[in-house]
């Protein structure tokens, strides 16, 4: 179903469209970011974004895991999968033990809709679980209008950008191109320029939706999951309409899921140590680096942090959403 009044983006008209869009350098120094529908999108990803918006039809039972890149998506995919599929697979026989969370819960824009041929998702058994990095306002109408559930995770934006910077270095092809320096990335994020940014627009879209429709959008923070995973797993399960039973609580199912999905456990699984993402060629290990809160302080000066947090504070003013700014509480 065509949902946009614009013609679909094709291989033929893509270059023409790109010439009309504001552009900036992406973190990898080569592929450009383009400002499209209020979001900075890597050029190679625009067709996937457009195809997803036009073609995806949500079902009421769908679960959408949404985020800015490098905000805890891999973790939340593993958690959502484990909660939603726990009646089929207990934590000890979970497919997560041998499959990347990104294969079990695939991204719309970079996986499912990145090819010319749209995927046939109709036959997938419910609940279908997908990942996405798009702004809330740019989601297909059927996601916003159906009863499907959206779970969003955000993270201290300085940790997010340091994580992205390190990922780009790990994934860098040895082809002579140079990445942006951390200082250049920093200057960009202060202007909102980063993949799927501006940061404040990405988070605010989901934040506001979570306030207006708490049954539809659950807003989580990486730092809070780190602080109390059991509480947040309960919150997630209740939100998905699959609360843990007293018996499950007594049997320690919540703790088992939290252990299964923990950074140390997932990182040390063979698939995540030596596997590779099929489409992008990114090593699965690149999605597991440190998994810490406050790592930005090892890379950015206090004055850089202060300037950036002042910008973020101004952008989020009046929304009720805030991020802790000190190094200790990150």
Give the shortest CB-126-to-ligand PAP separation in angstroms: 24
User: Is 183 within 8 Å of 172 (Cβ atoms)?
Assistant: no
CB nearer to ligand PAP: give 142 or 299.
299
Whole-angstrom distance, CA of residue 75 vs CA of residue 154? 12
197 binds ligand PAP (CB under 6 A): no
How is 60-88 classified by DSSP, letter by letter?
Answer: TT-EEEEESTTSSHHHHHHHHHHHHTTTT
Q: Which region, judged by CB under 6 A, interacts with ligand PAP, from 31-39, 81-89, 187-195, 255-263?
A: 255-263
Binding ligand PAP (rule: CB under 6 A), the pick from 241, 290, 313, 317 is 290
Question: Which residues, in sequence order, are CB contacts of 168 under 8 Å at separation 6+?
Answer: 27, 28, 179
Whole-angstrom distance, CA of residue 84 vs CA of residue 112? 21
Catalytic residue among 102, 133, 135, 169: 133
166 binds ligand PAP (CB under 6 A): yes
CB nearer to ligand PAP: give 51 or 163.
163
Binding ligand PAP (rule: CB under 6 A), the pick from 52, 75, 239, 309 is 75
Active site residue 135: no
How many residues belong to the site for ligand PAP (CB under 6 A)? Answer: 21
287 binds ligand PAP (CB under 6 A): yes
100 binds ligand PAP (CB under 6 A): no
163 binds ligand PAP (CB under 6 A): yes
Strand pairing report for 106-107 and 129-132: parallel
67 binds ligand PAP (CB under 6 A): yes
Whole-angstrom distance, CA of residue 67 vs CA of residue 328? 24
Q: Which region, judged by CB under 6 A, interacts with ligand PAP, from 31-39, 80-88, 236-244, 290-298?
A: 290-298
Determine whether 250 is exposed, middle or buried from the number of CB atoms within 10 Å of its CB (0-12, 13-18, 19+): exposed
Give the shortest CB-176-to-ligand PAP separation in angstroms: 24
273 binds ligand PAP (CB under 6 A): no
How is 83-105 classified by DSSP, letter by letter?
Answer: HHTTTTS-GGG-GGGTS-HHHHS
48 binds ligand PAP (CB under 6 A): no
Give the shortest CB-226-to-ligand PAP separation in angstroms: 7
Whole-angstrom distance, CA of residue 18 vs CA of residue 33? 10
CB nearer to ligand PAP: give 9 or 65.
65
Whole-angstrom distance, CA of residue 80 vs CA of residue 148? 14
266 binds ligand PAP (CB under 6 A): yes
Whole-angstrom distance, CA of residue 31 vs CA of residue 227? 36
Q: Which residues are catalytic?
A: 133
Q: Which residues bind ligand PAP (CB under 6 A)?
A: 67, 69-75, 159, 163, 166, 261-263, 266, 287-291, 295
């Amino acid at each position: 179903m065509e949902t946009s009044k614009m013609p679909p983006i094709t291989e033929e008209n893509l270059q023409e469209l790109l010439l009309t869009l504001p552009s900036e350098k992406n973190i990898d120094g080569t592929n450009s970011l383009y400002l499209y529908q209020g979001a900075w999108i890597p050029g190679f990803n625009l067709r996937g974004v457009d195809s997803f918006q036009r073609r995806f039809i949500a079902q009421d039972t769908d679960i959408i895991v949404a985020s800015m890149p490098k905000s805890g998506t891999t973790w939340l995919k593993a958690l959502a999968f484990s909660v939603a599929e726990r009646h089929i697979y207990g934590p000890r026989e979970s497919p997560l033990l041998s499959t990347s969370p990104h294969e079990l819960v695939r991204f719309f824009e970079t996986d499912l809709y990145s090819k010319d041929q749209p995927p046939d998702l109709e036959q997938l058994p419910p609940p279908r679980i997908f990942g996405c990095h798009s702004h809330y306002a740019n989601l297909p109408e059927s996601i916003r209008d159906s009863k499907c559930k959206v779970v969003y995770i955000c993270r201290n934006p300085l940790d997010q950008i340091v994580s992205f910077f390190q990922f780009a270095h790990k994934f860098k092809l040895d082809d002579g191109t140079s990445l942006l320096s951390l200082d250049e990335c920093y200057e960009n994020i202060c202007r909102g320029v980063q993949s799927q940014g501006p940061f404040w627009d990405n988070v605010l879209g989901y934040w506001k939706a979570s306030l207006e429709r708490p049954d539809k959008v659950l807003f989580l923070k990486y730092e809070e999951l780190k602080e109390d995973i059991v509480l947040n797993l309960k919150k997630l399960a209740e939100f998905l309409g699959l609360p843990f039973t007293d018996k499950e609580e007594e049997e320690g199912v919540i703790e088992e899921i939290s252990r299964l999905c923990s950074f140390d456990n997932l990182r040390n699984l063979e698939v995540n140590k030596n596997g590779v993402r099929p489409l992008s060629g990114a090593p699965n290990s690149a999605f597991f680096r440190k998994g810490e809160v406050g790592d930005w302080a090892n890379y950015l000066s206090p004055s850089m942090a202060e300037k950036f947090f002042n910008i973020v504070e101004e952008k989020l003013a009046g929304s009720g959403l805030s991020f802790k700014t000190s190094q200790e509480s990150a």
